[in-house]
Every structure is written in structure tokens, then in C-alpha cells.
Chains A and B, each alone.
Chain A
Amino acid sequence: MKKLVVIGIALIALVGFTSALQAQSARDYISIVGSSTVYPFATVVAEQFGKTSGFKTPTIESTGSGGGLKLFCAGVGVEHPDITNASRRIKKSEFDTCQQNGVKDIIEVKIGYDGIVMANSKKSAPMKLTRKDIFMALAKDVPDPSGAEKLVPNPYKTWKDVNPDLPDKKIVVLGPPPTSGTRDAFVELAMEGGAKKFDYVKNLDKKMFKATAHTIREDGAYVEAGENDNLIVQKLEKDPDALGIFGFSFLDQNADKIQGSFVDGVAPTFDAIAAGDYPVSRPLYFYVKGAHVGSIPGIDAYLKEFTAEKAWGEDGYLSDKGLIPMPDEERKKFASDARSLNPLMLQ
């Protein structure tokens, strides 16, 4: 009896390992990694793809843009992912790593835009901010309020201190931690845009400028609220004076509780972001490993599904989830590039 149990256990372990090795030699599903911002859109496409195409549903991991590209560029072969999502464009350094590791053909697909909103509870009035206000309220070091051309630690406590037109409320902003792509984009689009309004800051050398524009204050006015955007929405409801930073889709889903702040006079609405009027919006991408097309079944079909009008078009199911579609011509260009598998060239 005991012997049987032992033999049984050994058999199960053996079968497990051999089947694992078999599975490894032939993966029959697409493996996708990458940005947590693209994740909600890529998952919808993957699900539709799995239900309609007859291929297995791709697996999607939310690793962040940087983490995704690292995994993606690690090499060619079934143990490496086929596609990575990114909420920013691939960097030259990442592209070079890819080339070094034998990942030669990379197909870039831009899928649309995402707006980053600063929102507050509906219980208080909407904020009318400019990028300059945002920079002055959130940067660690700001230009001296007395007008002298030097940087001082951020002295502002209330929005009124920043700009007399704003309400006399304490500056409390809940936002994502430094590991988040949303934070990167927010800093790049909103804070940098604000920093450029000061001529001498703009004329600082490149490194100094980045350090000034990209460093968020650490004295408690900016609260790192973790990667969970639902949590930020809940906290905004509790504290009507606080502002939160997150992607447009969360504003879209919670429009009865929170409202987006105006930035440079434009409210974060679907139409304003699509038209390019809202300043804090960024393009979203995914990258496909050319060498895997054909060896992993279904990659070309997945590309087709993603770039179909019913998915990323103006009335497509992705726009229902909060993705801001590209203009018609851009869509056409990227769709044809994706379908003909044109590899990306970076100088």
C-alpha cells in the first residue's frame, strides 16, 4: 500500500515534468506582457480574439512598460513573450538591447491615446488649472516667488498660494508611485510643460531641467497612493479637497462621483483628448516580435483583431473601455504597417 502511494507520487511528478518540457517546446498561445495602462485594452482584444478566432486566448501580464520591454528584449524563443504593451515609445537603449539579443524585427503598433486626468470629488467645484500651476504646486523645487532667478524648496501650502485665482484649499494630490508609467507620463506632459513656462528654468542645461521638472515634492502634499486607481477614487470621495491623478478610463467609469480638472482651459473629455486639445495625453503602443509570427499560432490574427475598426475605431469596443482612438489617417497607416509586418527602424 505504502509503496503504491510512493510510486504514484513519483509518477505524477514525472508526468508533470515531462509534460512541462513538451509544453515548453511548443507554446500554442500568445504571451503578452507590458504596461498596466494598456492592460485594460489589450485584455479586451485578447478576450474577443480568443472567443471568435478559434485560437487560444493570449495570456497578458501587467508588468509595466519598462519591465515588459526588458522581458520582450531578452531573446527569441518560446520562453520569451511575443508582444509587449507600452504606454510610451520604445527607447533607443531598449531597442539596442533587443538587437543585441537577436530580437531583430520589431513591429510597432500605435493603438490610440490615453488622457491623464487630475480629478476631484463632485462635492467641490471643478479646478481650473494650468500646467504652470501643476508644476508650481507639485515640484520639489520651484522658482523663487520673489522673482529672483533661483530655485527654492516648494513653499506653497494652498492652491491660492500658487495662483490667486484658485480656491484657498490645502494642496493634497493623490497619485501613482514612481514605478508607474502614468507617473512618468504625468511628469513629462504636465510638469515639464509647466516648467517650460519659466524662461530661465527652460534654459537650464538638459539634466538640471529634467531634475527640476521631474522631481515631485516629498513634504506630504503629494501622496503616493499605490497603483490601484480605484483606491484613489474612493479616497477622493472621502476628501473633497484632494485631487487625484489617474487614467481617463477611471474618470469615465466614475463620472457620478468625480470630475476632471480643466488643464489650460480644456476639460478632459473624450472629444477633447481625441482632438488633441487636452494637453496631458499620451500615445499607447504595443510591440510585436517579428521572429515569432508564424511560429506561435495566431499572432497575425491578433494583430488583425486589434487593428480592426470594430476594435480601435471611433465606435469600436475599445473606445467603450476608454481608449481614445487615433485620427482616421493615422489608424489606416498603423493598420497597414501592422498587417504587412513592417519592422521598426530607430536611428
Chain B
Amino acid sequence: MSDSTINAPASLAAMPSKRTIDVVNAGLAKRYRAEKRFRIYGVTAIILSLCFLTLLFVDIISKGYTAFWQTKVRIDVHLDPEVLQGENLQTADYPGLVKKSIRNLFPDVQGRKDRRLLNGIVSSGAAFQIRDLVTANPDRIGSTVQLWVPADDDVDMLMKGHMPRDVPEDERRLNDKQLAWIDQLQREGRLQKTFNRILFTVGDSREPELAGIMGAVMGSVYTLLITLVLSFPIGVATAVYLEEFAPKNPWTDLVEVNINNLAAVPSIVFGLLGLAVFLNFFGLPRSAPLVGGLVLTLMTLPTIIIASRAALKAVPPSVREAALGIGASKTQMVTHHVLPLALPGMLTGTIIGMAQALGETAPLLMIGMVAFIVDIPGGFTDPSTVLPVQIYLWADSPERAFVEKTSAAIMVLLAFLMTMNALAVFLRKRFERRW
């Protein structure tokens, strides 16, 4: 004990006196290394996330790009006046016409079972295509028309290479006979792949070759319109009041805390609330974009309020003081000066909130928007569904052709999201002011 107390000053004295710069220099290499490591961590993190993103995109695009093309079959349909007579052109036997024209292509196919297989090469949508043609041009009855009609989804899968030919016959959806017929059609130039217009122009269908995303896109548009129209003004008004007018007291603190809490509430809870309040209490219709929009408004409001308040806080106090100083009222100060300056930030927040709402399915489950809906909605109260729901429904369908459709729908949804985010960036860059 006594030894060490005596020795300590002695050892200190024995050390050569170090200048600060030497200490710094000695540790410099280590500090540079630490700095380098730190940067490497960051770069690795970015590379990793980019890798995952690329993986996701490659997977989706490689699975889905074929969905933008569709196999079509050329058939010659004789618009038989015998079949198409009578008052009601809507209910004539159009499937019969299609069957007849396919049978004419393969006159030597006999037997009920084989004929059924043969008819299965063309989609059931062909009959509706002929119906629409006849309804639009009744004067063509009696003539023979050449039509490109969609092929059945199994044929489409085969042509796109998603269905192997080299497995035993009973493991294929198409048997050897059907393959021979398809090959013959191809030799005769009656099969071709064209751009898949159906995908972008019609609503959902249980036949993959007739399914489109237009219904879901319109549903999303109506739902988001309601969300935007409600959440933007309410959100901005709330933010302006809380930030510019509200007195600082426990009550406003409570409101603020609760808004932040709301932002973290799981979205399914808003769906349950929507079911209880909008459907059961107010008696609004199920599956309607109106209710979907109301529920998503509840969900996006906190996001918009928080972003708007941040934008208002970023406006320097000097602007406010100057306005008040030259005699503006508080309302004039806000509407003439603060709000225009904060608006780009608010818009960015709103668009991010909208993008979030666009990708939401959970709250919509409760209010009946996760449903099979064929007709394209024409208004805010028509039954409709939204894009992410369409993706979910297609992913759950047994038909293999829906795999590529699912990926295609994801691509469309991503395109929407990217456009919205790009708009947000553009608005920020265009109107943002820095002090």
C-alpha cells in the first residue's frame, strides 16, 4: 500500500513529457480507421437494401412482364342470320357460333369429349366479343368476320412457356391432342401474341385471360379522391390551429399526444371503427369507395397533421413578426404569409400519406372492399375494390395464369406509388424555400 503511493509520482515523472499534438497524432490512425469503418457500415447498409430492392423488382418483373402480352386466336365466325334473328340480340347463342367456327377449323375432330377439349382452346370471352360486335353493327349479320379472340389461359401459359411440354400427359393441363391442335393453329398463323389491352380496360374476372385491373384502379382513384378531399383540409386546418392559434395548455398537449398516438395505431383498428360507425351507425353502403375513403382519411390524418405542423414550424418567426409588425391581423399573417410558405411541405406530407393509403388493405377488409367485383365502379357509392386488394385476390386464385397477373398488378401499383412520390419530390424541389 505505502509502496504504490510512493511509486506513482515517480513513474509519472519518469515518463517523457508529451505534447498534445503527439497524443493526437498517435491516435490519428485509429480514428481514421474508425471513420472508415463507420462509412463502410453505412455503404453496406445501402448496398444491402438496394440488393433486396433489386431482388424484389427482378422477381416481380421477371414473373410479370409476360402478362402485358396475350395470346389470341384468329377465328372466322359466320354471323348466321338463323341464330341471330329475333328481337333480342343479347341472348342469342353466341357460344354456339364460336364453337361452330372452331369446329370448322378442325373438321375431323369427332366425339363429345374431344369437341369439349377443342372448344376449351378459345376463351369464353370470345362469345361476348362477338355479341358486342353484333350489337354495335347489326348490319353485318349474314357475313363472315375474321376475329382475333383471346385464347384460353392454359393455351396462353403454354405459349408463354410457363407450362412445360415435356412432362407426362396426365400431369399437364393440356393433353397431347390439344397440343397438336395448338401446333396446327400456330402453323396456320392463327395464333399471335398481342399487347394485352384487356388487362387495362376491364374489371376483375375469374378467367385469367379476361381479367383486368381497371375496376381496381377506378376504385383506388375514387377512394383516394375522398381521402384527399377530406384529409387535406382537415389536416391542414388542425395543424394551423394547433401551431398558430392554440394556447399552450395541458389540453392542447393532450390533443398533440393523441395525434401522435393515432399515427401509430394499426390500420385494421380504423377498419373496425369504420364498420361500427360508418356502416352500422350511419348505414352507409358496404364495399363503397365513399366509406373506404372515410376510413383511410382517419388513417392518414395524423400523418398529414404531423407533416403540416413540421412545415409550419420551419417557417421562421421573423416572417410572422414582420407581418404582424406592419399591421396584419393574425388570420392575415397565417393565410397571406405563413401558409403559402409552408404549403410545399404540407403537400409533400399529404402525398406521402396518400401513397400510404393507396397501399392499404387491412382497414378495407372490414368494410367489404375485399370482394370480387366485376363491374367498373362509376361513382363513390358503387361497390368497388382497390389495387392492393386486387393483388391479394389474384395471388389467392388457383389458376396458374394469375401468377403473372398478380405481378403485373404489383407493377402497376408500384408505378402509381413512384409517380406520387416523384410528384412529392418535384413539389418540394420546385416550391421549397430555404432560410
**Is residue B379 contacting chain A, with contact meaning CB distance below 8 A?**
yes
B contact residues around A4 at 8 Å (CB): none
Contact B173 A255 (CB under 8 A): yes
Contact A20 B287 (CB under 8 A): no
Contact A230 B396 (CB under 8 A): yes
B contact residues around A253 at 8 Å (CB): 173, 398-400
Contact A9 B206 (CB under 8 A): no
- Complex CA gap A113/B397 in Å reads 19
The 9 A-B pairs of least Cβ separation, nearest first, read A23-B381, A57-B374, A60-B372, A61-B371, A256-B171, A59-B383, A43-B372, A253-B398, A44-B206
| Least CB separation from A12: chain B residue | B229
Query: Nearest Cβ in chain B — how far from A315, in angstroms?
Result: 7
Contact A19 B375 (CB under 8 A): no
- Complex CA gap A16/B379 in Å reads 9
Contact A256 B172 (CB under 8 A): yes
Contact B230 A13 (CB under 8 A): yes
- Complex CA gap A62/B290 in Å reads 21
Interface centre among A29, A31, A47, A228, by most chain B C-beta atoms within 10 angstroms, is: A47
Contact segment of A48-56, A170-178, A292-300: A48-56
Contact A249 B398 (CB under 8 A): yes
**Is residue B90 contacting chain A, with contact meaning CB distance below 8 A?**
yes
B130-169 CB mask vs A (1 if < 8 Å, else 0) is 0000000000000000000000000000000001100100
Contact A227 B206 (CB under 8 A): no
Contact B124 A20 (CB under 8 A): no
| Least CB separation from B233: chain A residue | A9
Contact segment of B34-42, B58-66, B101-109, B278-286: B278-286
**Is residue A27 contacting chain B, with contact meaning CB distance below 8 A?**
yes
B contact residues around A320 at 8 Å (CB): 120
- B: contact size bracket: 35 or more
| Least CB separation from A315: chain B residue | B116
Contact A122 B380 (CB under 8 A): no
- Complex CA gap A27/B368 in Å reads 15
B contact residues around A229 at 8 Å (CB): 396, 398
Main secondary structure of the interface of B (DSSP, over half): loop
A-B contact pairs, 9 of them (CB 8 A): A9-B233, A17-B290, A40-B206, A57-B374, A59-B368, A250-B398, A256-B163, A315-B116, A320-B120
Query: Nearest Cβ in chain A — how far from B169, in angstroms?
Result: 10
Main secondary structure of the interface of A (DSSP, over half): helix
Contact B380 A20 (CB under 8 A): yes
A contact residues around B288 at 8 Å (CB): 20, 23
**Is residue A286 contacting chain B, with contact meaning CB distance below 8 A?**
no
Contact B285 A79 (CB under 8 A): yes
Q: How many of chain A's residues have a CB under 8 angstroms from any CB in B?
A: 49
Contact A122 B171 (CB under 8 A): yes
**Is residue A115 contacting chain B, with contact meaning CB distance below 8 A?**
no
- Complex CA gap A97/B434 in Å reads 65
Contact B170 A255 (CB under 8 A): yes
**Is residue B424 contacting chain A, with contact meaning CB distance below 8 A?**
no
**Is residue B226 contacting chain A, with contact meaning CB distance below 8 A?**
yes
Query: Nearest Cβ in chain A — how far from B388, in angstroms?
Result: 15
Interface centre among B167, B230, B284, by most chain A C-beta atoms within 10 angstroms, is: B284
**Is residue B395 contacting chain A, with contact meaning CB distance below 8 A?**
yes
| Least CB separation from B88: chain A residue | A54
**Is residue A242 contacting chain B, with contact meaning CB distance below 8 A?**
no
B295-309 CB mask vs A (1 if < 8 Å, else 0) is 000000000000000
B346-383 CB mask vs A (1 if < 8 Å, else 0) is 00000000000000000000001011111100011111
- Complex CA gap A13/B229 in Å reads 8
**Is residue B91 contacting chain A, with contact meaning CB distance below 8 A?**
yes
Contact A23 B233 (CB under 8 A): no
Interface centre among B90, B171, B226, by most chain A C-beta atoms within 10 angstroms, is: B171
Contact A31 B286 (CB under 8 A): yes
B contact residues around A317 at 8 Å (CB): 124
Contact A321 B373 (CB under 8 A): no
| Least CB separation from A60: chain B residue | B372
A54-89 CB mask vs B (1 if < 8 Å, else 0) is 101101111000000000000000010000000000
Query: Nearest Cβ in chain A — how far from B234, in angstroms?
Result: 10
- Complex CA gap A309/B368 in Å reads 31
Contact A50 B116 (CB under 8 A): no
**Is residue B245 contacting chain A, with contact meaning CB distance below 8 A?**
no
Query: Quick one: given A56-B375, A317-B124, are A23 and B285 in contact (CB under 8 Å)?
Result: yes
- Complex CA gap A173/B287 in Å reads 36
Contact B285 A255 (CB under 8 A): no
Contact B286 A50 (CB under 8 A): no
**Is residue B205 contacting chain A, with contact meaning CB distance below 8 A?**
yes
A contact residues around B290 at 8 Å (CB): 16-17, 20
B394-407 CB mask vs A (1 if < 8 Å, else 0) is 01111110010000
**Is residue A268 contacting chain B, with contact meaning CB distance below 8 A?**
no
**Is residue B128 contacting chain A, with contact meaning CB distance below 8 A?**
yes
Contact B381 A20 (CB under 8 A): yes
B contact residues around A43 at 8 Å (CB): 206, 372
Contact A228 B396 (CB under 8 A): yes
- Complex CA gap A250/B396 in Å reads 10
B contact residues around A16 at 8 Å (CB): 226, 290, 380-381
**Is residue A262 contacting chain B, with contact meaning CB distance below 8 A?**
no
A contact residues around B400 at 8 Å (CB): 253-254
**Is residue A179 contacting chain B, with contact meaning CB distance below 8 A?**
no
Q: Which of A10-29 contact B (CB under 8 A)?
A: 12-13, 16-17, 19-20, 22-24, 27, 29
Query: Nearest Cβ in chain B — how far from A60, in angstroms?
Result: 4
Query: Nearest Cβ in chain A — how far from B375, in angstroms?
Result: 5
- Complex CA gap A50/B396 in Å reads 22
Contact A29 B91 (CB under 8 A): no
- Complex CA gap A56/B286 in Å reads 16
- Complex CA gap A145/B399 in Å reads 43
Contact A79 B279 (CB under 8 A): yes
A contact residues around B399 at 8 Å (CB): 253
**Is residue A322 contacting chain B, with contact meaning CB distance below 8 A?**
yes
- Complex CA gap A29/B226 in Å reads 23
Contact A255 B91 (CB under 8 A): no
**Is residue A39 contacting chain B, with contact meaning CB distance below 8 A?**
yes
- Complex CA gap A212/B64 in Å reads 46
B contact residues around A60 at 8 Å (CB): 371-372
B contact residues around A250 at 8 Å (CB): 398
Query: Quick one: given A20-B288, A23-B381, are A57 and B206 in contact (CB under 8 Å)?
Result: no
| Least CB separation from A24: chain B residue | B285
- Complex CA gap A267/B373 in Å reads 36
Contact B396 A19 (CB under 8 A): no
- Complex CA gap A315/B91 in Å reads 21
- Complex CA gap A51/B374 in Å reads 10
Query: Nearest Cβ in chain B — how far from A45, in angstroms?
Result: 9
Contact A50 B381 (CB under 8 A): no
- Complex CA gap A40/B207 in Å reads 11
Query: Other CB < 8 Å A-B pairs besides A20-B285, A20-B288, A256-B172, 8 of them?
Result: A19-B379, A40-B206, A40-B398, A47-B207, A52-B90, A228-B396, A253-B398, A321-B206
Query: Nearest Cβ in chain A — how far from B413, in angstroms?
Result: 18
